[in-house]
């Protein structure tokens, strides 16, 4: 399949244009200007709120004027991650895409299909003059990936639709009707660096090649977490000898499972060979442990130059805290119909060393708000025991299922009509902006769906091309069947 054969052509044309525009989270200014210009060229009404969310309104096509208004929604920002050896500036450079069989990929970076493909679908509808639909509001929110800032900042009354279709889901054939809420817990270990004891030997250990993934969608896939793996080695060695940590850097995004990391530490010179032997045994055991999910681990342990280290107590407490952190699934959903779905989880996402501090970022998710608080407090208490300063953000709410949703029925019926099979109606263990929308617009009826994406939030992100046409056809069928006022 060649790029010029991608269908629907109008959607992929818009996606290609979007990928020329830098749009890191919190830096969507160029994208906002593009949307305003796009609407002006087509004489469509545009509104931009104080936060930077954009709504472009399109009137109904003839014969559909009395239908209820539908909001189509996606977020304009993207997660920016790249392979370590790729020279790329997300604030300036265009995403380079290529076709790999039935998949669309990017050259060494995240693809931006989360949620650029949703944006592209909306723009294609706005650009079309042969689609049957009632009044439409296309909502583009900003900074979804690093705090849902756009959805948080949007005030009641900005959108006026009766139905909302979120285009930020990642498995075609799955219709989502609820999502998890979330909280970020960040710990800061502060200190004054000091010189390592005399006759200590410095080593640099690294791990790369893990699959990583989305800390909500992929938390149930038993994938290795680079931070937790490094903590296991450091804790085991610390239990045998004095380990003085100098640097620990792993992970980039608060909502991703870290896929690589590096530690620099010092041990008594007389025990360096013991550490090397332990490293070899440890790495072999971890490879065996994750022989199904992470088959491309690359390890390195080398001598390195001496540098200042963390004080002994801080180094020990940091290692203990990260070793003790709960990471992964805490509970599955109790409802029998949803027993397959993760209810509550936590992910340690990044560790970053600075001159006089080490910052550890974690994220907790749950569809049950009381257990979300319980999970977040468990992580907070662990850090507090280690002497860290702990800060938690306000979090975002879960989106509760609406058992009387008319839009769900319309969406399911349209899918069955088009594809002669039942879609899966599900909840998702990831955050969607629908949770915040439901608080400010309690009357609005919502669903979420989208084409199939894999490995989002990583440089391996890819879009399954045939599903874009399916989602496009499905969406148009839904728009034709929206009821009248």
pLDDT digit string (tens) for 170-225?
999 999 998 889 999 999 999 999 999 999 999 999 999 999 998 888 999 999 99
Lowest mean pLDDT across 33-47, 247-261, 285-299: 247-261
Residue 154's nearest CA partner among 144, 166, 167 is 144
Q: Is 170 designated active site?
A: no
Kindly report, residue by residue over 233-272, the tens digit of the pLDDT: 999 999 999 999 999 999 988 889 999 999 999 999 999 9
**Per-residue pLDDT, 245:** 98
Q: What's the rounded mean pLDDT across residues 70-85?
A: 94
* Spatial distance between the Cα atoms of 186 and 363, rounded to a whole number of angstroms: 8
Is the predicted pLDDT of residue 1 greater than 70, yes or no?
no
Cα 405 from chain centroid (whole Å): 27
Q: Which helix (H) or strand (E) holds 467?
A: helix 465-480
**Per-residue pLDDT, 142:** 96
Q: Which residue has the higher pLDDT, 404 or 363?
A: 363
Whether cis (ω within 30° of 0) applies to the bond prior to 393 is no
* 124 in Cβ contact with 59 (< 8 Å): no
Q: How open is the CA angle 223-228-230, to the nearest 5 degrees?
A: 115
Average pLDDT of the chain is 94
Alpha helix stretches (DSSP H) within 48-203? 113-127, 149-153
In the numeric block, the tokens 């305003």 are attached to 36
Residue in 28, 77, 170, 433 annotated catalytic: 77
Query: Using CA of residue 403, residue 440, residue 112, residue 261, what is the dihedral sign?
Result: negative
* 341 in Cβ contact with 429 (< 8 Å): yes
Is the predicted pLDDT of residue 427 greater than 90, yes or no?
no
**Per-residue pLDDT, 2:** 67
* Spatial distance between the Cα atoms of 125 and 132, rounded to a whole number of angstroms: 10
* Spatial distance between the Cα atoms of 45 and 162, rounded to a whole number of angstroms: 19
* Spatial distance between the Cα atoms of 390 and 283, rounded to a whole number of angstroms: 32
**Per-residue pLDDT, 208:** 95
Is the predicted pLDDT of residue 393 greater than 70, yes or no?
yes
Is the predicted pLDDT of residue 449 greater than 80, yes or no?
yes
* 324 in Cβ contact with 202 (< 8 Å): no
**Per-residue pLDDT, 485:** 82
Contacts of 398 (CB under 8 A, 6+ apart): 178, 179, 180, 181, 366, 367, 368, 369, 372, 435
365 pLDDT band (50/70/90 cuts)?
very high
**Per-residue pLDDT, 146:** 83
Instruction: Name the percent of the chain in helix, strand, coil, to the closest 5.
Output: 30, 30, 40
Q: Is 77 designated active site?
A: yes
482 pLDDT band (50/70/90 cuts)?
very high
Alpha carbon separation from 120 to 388, 414, 448 (Å, rounded): 44, 21, 16
Residue in 144, 171, 237, 294 annotated catalytic: 144
397 pLDDT band (50/70/90 cuts)?
confident
337 pLDDT band (50/70/90 cuts)?
low
Please state at what angle helix 113-127 crosses helix 9-18, rounded to 10 degrees.
120
**Per-residue pLDDT, 447:** 97
* Spatial distance between the Cα atoms of 384 and 373, rounded to a whole number of angstroms: 16
**Per-residue pLDDT, 190:** 98
* Spatial distance between the Cα atoms of 210 and 225, rounded to a whole number of angstroms: 8
Cα 175 from chain centroid (whole Å): 19
* Spatial distance between the Cα atoms of 28 and 23, rounded to a whole number of angstroms: 5
**Per-residue pLDDT, 333:** 82
* Spatial distance between the Cα atoms of 155 and 174, rounded to a whole number of angstroms: 30
* Spatial distance between the Cα atoms of 399 and 370, rounded to a whole number of angstroms: 14
Query: Using CA of residue 111, residue 115, residue 117, residue 120, what is the dihedral sign?
Result: negative
Kindly report, residue by residue over 17-36, the tens digit of the pLDDT: 999 999 999 999 999 999 99
Q: What's the rounded mean pLDDT across residues 449-463?
A: 94
Phi, psi angles (nearest 5°) of residue 435: -60, -45
Looking at 180-230, which runs of residues are DSSP E strands? 181-190, 200-208, 213-214
* 174 in Cβ contact with 426 (< 8 Å): yes
In the numeric block, the tokens 């080398």 are attached to 302
Is the predicted pLDDT of residue 336 greater than 80, yes or no?
no
């Amino acid at each position: 399949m060649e790029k010029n054969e991608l269908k629907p052509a109008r959607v992929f044309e818009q996606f290609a244009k979007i990928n020329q525009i830098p749009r890191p989270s919190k830096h969507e200014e160029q994208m906002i200007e593009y949307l305003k210009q796009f609407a002006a060229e087509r004489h469509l009404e545009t509104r931009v709120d104080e936060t930077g969310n954009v709504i472009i309104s399109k009137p109904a096509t003839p014969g559909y004027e009395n239908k209820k208004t539908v909001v189509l929604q996606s977020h304009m920002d993207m997660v920016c991650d790249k392979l370590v050896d790729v020279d790329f500036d997300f604030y300036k450079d265009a995403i380079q895409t290529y076709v790999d069989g039935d998949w669309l990929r990017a050259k060494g970076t995240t693809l931006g299909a989360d949620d650029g493909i949703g944006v592209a679908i909306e723009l294609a509808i706005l650009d079309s003059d042969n689609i049957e639909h009632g009044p439409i509001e296309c909502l583009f929110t900003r900074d979804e990936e690093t705090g849902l800032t756009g959805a948080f900042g949007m005030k009641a009354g900005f959108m006026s639709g009766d139905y909302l279709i979120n285009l930020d889901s990642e498995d075609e054939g799955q219709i989502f009707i609820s999502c998890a809420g979330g909280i970020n817990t960040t710990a800061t270990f502060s200190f004054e660096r000091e010189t390592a004891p005399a006759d200590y030997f410095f080593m640099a250990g690294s791990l790369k090649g893990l699959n990583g993934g989305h800390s909500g969608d992929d938390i149930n896939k038993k994938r290795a977490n680079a931070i937790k793996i490094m903590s296991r080695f450091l804790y085991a060695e610390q239990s045998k000898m004095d380990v003085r940590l100098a640097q620990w850097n792993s992970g980039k995004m608060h909502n991703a499972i870290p896929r690589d990391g590096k530690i620099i530490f010092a041990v008594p010179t007389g025990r360096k060979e013991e550490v090397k032997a332990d490293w070899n045994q440890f790495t072999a055991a971890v490879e065996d442990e994750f022989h199904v999910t992470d088959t491309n681990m690359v390890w390195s342990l080398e001598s390195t130059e001496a540098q200042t280290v963390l004080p002994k107590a801080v180094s020990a407490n940091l290692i203990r805290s990260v070793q003790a952190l709960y990471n992964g699934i805490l509970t599955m959903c109790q409802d029998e119909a949803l027993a397959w779905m993760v209810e509550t989880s936590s992910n340690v996402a990044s560790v970053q060393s600075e001159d006089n501090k080490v910052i550890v970022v974690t994220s907790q998710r749950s569809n049950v708000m009381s257990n979300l608080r319980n999970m977040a407090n468990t992580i907070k208490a662990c850090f507090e025991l280690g002497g860290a300063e702990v800060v938690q953000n306000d979090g975002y709410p879960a989106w509760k299922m609406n058992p009387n949703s008319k839009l769900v029925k319309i969406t399911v019926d349209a899918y069955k009509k088009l594809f002669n099979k039942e879609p899966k109606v599900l909840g998702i263990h990831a955050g969607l902006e629908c949770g915040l929308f439901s608080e400010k617009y309690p009357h609005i009826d919502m669903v979420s769906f989208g084409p199939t994406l894999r490995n989002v939030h990583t440089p391996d992100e890819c879009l399954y091309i045939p599903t874009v046409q399916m989602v496009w056809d499905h969406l148009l069928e839904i728009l034709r069947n929206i009821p009248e006022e």
